Structure 1
Amino acid sequence: MAALGVPPICVILPDAQEVRGRLHARRQVKDGWLYQVGILVWQDGSNGSAEPAEQRVWVSPAHARPLPGVSYEHVPTHRLSATDAPFQKRPPAWTLQYLPHRPGHPGSTLLHVVGCNPSDRTLTQEEAVAALRQPRAAACIECDAARSLTPEQLQPDQAHQEHGIESLQDTNPRETPPPL
């Protein structure tokens, strides 16, 4: 799965499995760092076949671990500038990711804050709330999509849960890139 210039990384899945992925980028956010990782998965192909496809997602440092002996110095790193305003001061915008129907698993949607998942269309606050109220819809826990909406707008089971960002976090984010 190695691609020129894209180093491997250990990705920790939600069920605690560890798989080898690739680290495409890292970006500093208000509370620390996020890492764009890609893992190879199967997707429905033509004529009912299964084809490999890389799925990319932004994860917290709790879900990515560097591999011994691998250099991460050439990974694109996006830092907050001194003039960047905190996310709460910018008007938020959202995008939807459509997760396709698979045998035994109905399709669903995942709400993201703009920048977490590529999309051609942004949603207003009203559209984001309406999308979250649909069946099989959830907010991304990596990009604070749920936290960017007011508690009155969210149903109780859609509240955002905090995730620790200790394992790969910079102690002084303005100094050196994260230790990958």
Structure 2
Amino acid sequence: MTITSPQGAPIFVILPDAQEVRGRLHARRQVNDGWLYQVGNLVWQNGTNGSAEPAEQRVWVSPAHARPVPGVSYEHVPTHRLSATDLPSPERLPAWTLQYLPHRPGHPGATLLHVVGCTPSDRTLTREEALAALRQPRTAACIECDAARSLTPEQRQTDQNRQTQQQRDDESPQDTNPSETPP
């Protein structure tokens, strides 16, 4: 893992003409319909005596315009969450994303489930999609964001309900009269 510096964390920024350049992630801000990322890119500006000087241009972009750099930790990037009163209703908020970790020698590939904003992603998941993803092999909920707390208890409850129903089905008396057809 790369430790981030006070100047921001490296991130790929997708420009309007689809070019992908390396920039810096300075902050994350939750908004009613997801997250915004404050990214900075170095550009040239007019300097003194007609010279060109480097300057950083900062702008807030959606997750579709930022992509994480593999191996970089974003845990130190300032993150501003909405207060509980500002959050939209849970029914409207698809709030999870997947991060695919590549196969390395001695380590199989894996998938991490995150709350939107933990790592940049261009696709969000509904609660049902997130729960289904967690049931897949080598998939885990991120322990650094709310994904572990927001979905793992519900997944356990869903699995417990399914197990209880299976036990009820197993314990129910079976009709052994072969002359009757099942409904």
Question: Which range, TM-score by smaller chain?
Answer: 0.3 to 0.5
- TM-score if structure 2 supplies the norm length? 0.47
Structure with more of its chain in helix, by fraction: 2
